[in-house]
Structure 1
Amino acid sequence: MIAVDQIPVTVLTGFLGSGKTTVLNHLLRQPELNGVVAIINEFGEVALDHLLVESSEDRLALLDNGCICCSVRDDLIETLADLAGRRAAGTVPPFHRVLVETTGLADPVPVLHTLMTAPEVVGRYRIDGVVATVDAVNGARTLEAHVEAVRQIAVADRLLVTKTDLAAEDALARLDARLAAINPVATRAHVRNGVVDPAKVLDAGLFDPSARSADVVRWFDLASQAVNAPHHHAEHDCDGAECGHHSHHAHDAGVSSYSLIIDEPIQRDAFARWLDYVAALKGEDLLRFKAIVHVAEQPDAPVVVHGVQHVFHPPITLQGWPSADRRSRLVFIVRGIPRRIIENTLCKFAAVSRAAIQRSAA
């Protein structure tokens, strides 16, 4: 069960020079972010970026000498635990949200793992969402040259395309299409000089136990439509023995996205068994997984599940279905996992009949 008073954490990521610090600077000056602590990660001997952030020291915590990955995971845990302890003791000003800015070279997945698994953190914090900045001028070249940039986009809930005033319209349109191909379920916003509405960054909502059921189900409806829409990069999902008429997206660094809709209720234990199997077999390549599940044992209360590689967020039970549509919807962003493998494992381990699996939102 998720505690209602957990502090939401927004992870701000993006490749080198993509404008993260400029965006953070703008956000910290907005009244909506009063009472927010920013944790800024540095790479290198001397930390510099924090000098560029216009904020008082009591709103900043600095992790230096390494990217946010395994090398400083313990530092992040210690920082979050210390902040929560000082907040409870009243030795720091009250804060109600945390922003973690990663380095440009960082994979944000270890941050999400920390928030989802570290005992010192889980009871006190919850993931609000991942926001990635993308340079409108250099973004396409960056995606070609750096797999880290592709992974940052693939795991994001929201994308901020920065420096749009410096990019040609046709180039910007091509970049938008490419971002939509890599991650069709992330919302996108164009940003100039770091100016962005906090509402486009905060409260991604899927992992908030107080989120309205209708909003969550609407997200899954839109996500299913987005990842199954025809795209010019699509290619047939064939394995030689069989080839369906549906298609999936082939993207940068082997990243693809697709969704499945299941018409029949799923047994809780069977679904948990399937999750364990997929995490063990394909977890490294399961970049993001989100699902709203019709659990057979509780037909009137759908369950939302979120996974990042091997780790799954504790399931969130919604108060009820907001519409008559009670189908399970599963959304995947993966690296090199064919859709047919997911379908086969659902049938074998989750006891889902093949006839109940649909490949489109229709």
Structure 2
Amino acid sequence: MASTANSMIPVTILTGFLGSGKTTLLKRILGEQHGMRIAVIENEFGEENIDNEILVQESTEQIVQMSNGCICCTIRGDLVQALGDLAAQRTAGTLKFDRVVIETTGLANPGPVAQTFFIDDQIASDFLLDAVITLVDAKHANQQLDEHEVVQRQVGFADRLFVTKSDLVDENTLSDLRHRLLHMNPRAPIATVNFGEADIKQIFDLKGFNLNAKLEIDPDFLAEDEHDHADCDHDHGECTHEGHDHAGHDHAHHHHHHRHDDRIKSFVFRSNRPFDSKRLEDFLGGVLQIYGERMLRYKGVLYMKGVDRRVVFQGVHQMMGSDLASRWLPADEKTNKMVFIGVDLPQDLIVDGLTACLV
């Protein structure tokens, strides 16, 4: 029997490249007296050794009960089976926990891990994916982003970005990195976290995969409305507004000189005109069929013709969902706001297609 939403177990995916500080953050989560019982899955697939600082265990044990009620289990195989086993033990009363944290190996693309919660019906009925949190090493991030596409994917999938080791770089380096991350993923808030010192409220119950959660887009990313583009020195090529491409415009207030040819980029589409629902559904269906594997995350709040409520949608790769949200009030400015994050996405094609779907 499927669980109700209230009894579903929330899951947080913790990702980031090798050495980004996942273990330090996890250690802090597990050591804090927060009153939550957390099951941690070290999703290793045999690629790395267990971090014995966290998992002090006998070699024969797979699950370790910790002093504050947290549980650690190391999975070297199928994630679906691991989650299923945890759910079964919870139902049977042999294990008690309130939520799950999955720490991926530093070389993992979080996409397939996230998809697990949509593809398998039993997992989807027992677990609720809350958010993907990505850690980024401030000292080595630019080199890692340049050399490893998986690091770009980790950033692109994030609902929240934690920049670690910021004490090892100067303010300009940190500012440039934030700017780069912002253009790869404008919907993920960025926080600086040193030595794992993050507020639990920044980690859990983020509702990053909740259709009705607030669509977060960094306001700096949409700053073309606030100033002109006359005296600019950095490329700001990922913004769109009302189908108008700002690829040739730059922004005077940043003064970033470091350019990076990231394959993973984001762009935002906005319009005050309503969508025709049939045209939009057909167009998005076609885009997903052709480019779905390259679309990491996409999310939006839509103004639809003949619908008195906001329509919210989001997706991961080819899997997209939508739902009705709050009613438009007379004082509301009805707008469409959509963000797309992906690998070499055809921005002009998507923007032109969306524009053609407007009434």
- In the superposition, the TM-score normalised over structure 1's length comes to 0.80
| Structure 1 SS opposite 2:143 | helix
What is the aligned partner in structure 1 of residue 358 from structure 2? 352
1:160, distance to aligned residue in structure 2 (A): 0.8
Distance, in Å, in 2 between the alignment partners of 1:10 and 1:325 is: 34
What is the aligned partner in structure 2 of residue 67 from structure 1? none
1:277, distance to aligned residue in structure 2 (A): 1.1
The 3 A distance-change label for structure 1 pair 141 and 159 is same
| Structure 1 SS opposite 2:354 | helix
Equivalent pair of 1:161/1:188 in contact (CA under 8 Å): yes
Q: Among 128, 131, 134, which residue is 2:133 paired with? A: 131
Q: Among 21, 24, 35, which residue is 2:23 paired with? A: 21
The 3 A distance-change label for structure 1 pair 273 and 245 is closer
For structure 2, the residue ranges without an aligned partner over 5 or more in a row are 57-63, 251-258
The 3 A distance-change label for structure 1 pair 288 and 25 is same
What is the aligned partner in structure 1 of residue 170 from structure 2? 168
Aligned 1:50-199 pairs, distance under 5 A: 51-53=53-55, 56=65, 59-64=71-76, 72=77, 75-93=78-96, 95-199=97-201
What is the aligned partner in structure 1 of residue 50 from structure 2? 48
1:297, distance to aligned residue in structure 2 (A): 5.1
Choose 96-105 or 221-230, whichever is displaced more. 221-230
What is the aligned partner in structure 1 of residue 342 from structure 2? 334
The 3 A distance-change label for structure 1 pair 155 and 45 is closer
Tell me the amino acid that sits aligned with residue 288 of structure 1.
R
Tell me the amino acid that sits aligned with residue 304 of structure 1.
V
Tell me the amino acid that sits aligned with residue 37 of structure 2.
G
Tell me the amino acid that sits aligned with residue 99 of structure 1.
V
Distance, in Å, in 2 between the alignment partners of 1:296 and 1:141 is: 46
Q: Among 325, 328, 337, which residue is 2:333 paired with? A: 325
Distance, in Å, in 2 between the alignment partners of 1:135 and 1:236 is: 24
The 3 A distance-change label for structure 1 pair 307 and 223 is farther
| Structure 2 SS opposite 1:85 | helix
1:278, distance to aligned residue in structure 2 (A): 1.2
Q: Deviations over 1:290-312 (max 9, x none)?
A: 1112344532x322211122222
Q: Among 245, 255, 258, which residue is 2:267 paired with? A: 258
Tell me the amino acid that sits aligned with residue 222 of structure 2.
Q
Equivalent pair of 1:220/1:292 in contact (CA under 8 Å): no
Distance, in Å, in 2 between the alignment partners of 1:286 and 1:210 is: 21
- The structure with more helix, counted as a fraction of residues: 1
| Structure 1 SS opposite 2:333 | coil
Tell me the amino acid that sits aligned with residue 159 of structure 1.
L
1:208, distance to aligned residue in structure 2 (A): 3.5
Q: Deviations over 1:43-75 (max 9, x none)?
A: 5377412653577356122112xxxxxxx5xx1
Equivalent pair of 1:40/1:61 in contact (CA under 8 Å): yes
Distance, in Å, in 2 between the alignment partners of 1:121 and 1:307 is: 18
Tell me the amino acid that sits aligned with residue 189 of structure 1.
A
| Structure 2 SS opposite 1:101 | strand
What is the aligned partner in structure 2 of residue 225 from structure 1? 222
1:206, distance to aligned residue in structure 2 (A): 4.2
Distance, in Å, in 1 between the alignment partners of 2:285 and 2:245 is: 30
Aligned 1:32-43 pairs, distance under 5 A: 32=34, 34-43=36-45
Choose 281-290 or 41-50, whichever is displaced more. 41-50
Distance, in Å, in 1 between the alignment partners of 2:20 and 2:136 is: 5
Distance, in Å, in 2 between the alignment partners of 1:15 and 1:142 is: 8
1:104, distance to aligned residue in structure 2 (A): 0.4
The 3 A distance-change label for structure 1 pair 221 and 171 is closer
Q: Deviations over 1:148-172 (max 9, x none)?
A: 1111111111111111222233322
Equivalent pair of 1:143/1:252 in contact (CA under 8 Å): no
Distance, in Å, in 1 between the alignment partners of 2:342 and 2:104 is: 22
Tell me the amino acid that sits aligned with residue 271 of structure 2.
I
1:92, distance to aligned residue in structure 2 (A): 1.1
1:253, distance to aligned residue in structure 2 (A): 3.1
1:173, distance to aligned residue in structure 2 (A): 2.5
Equivalent pair of 1:258/1:332 in contact (CA under 8 Å): yes
Choose 15-24 or 279-288, whichever is displaced more. 279-288
Name the % identity: 33
Matched residues, number = 330
1:282, distance to aligned residue in structure 2 (A): 1.0
Tell me the amino acid that sits aligned with residue 258 of structure 1.
F
| Structure 1 SS opposite 2:28 | helix
| Structure 2 SS opposite 1:8 | strand
Distance, in Å, in 2 between the alignment partners of 1:309 and 1:228 is: 30
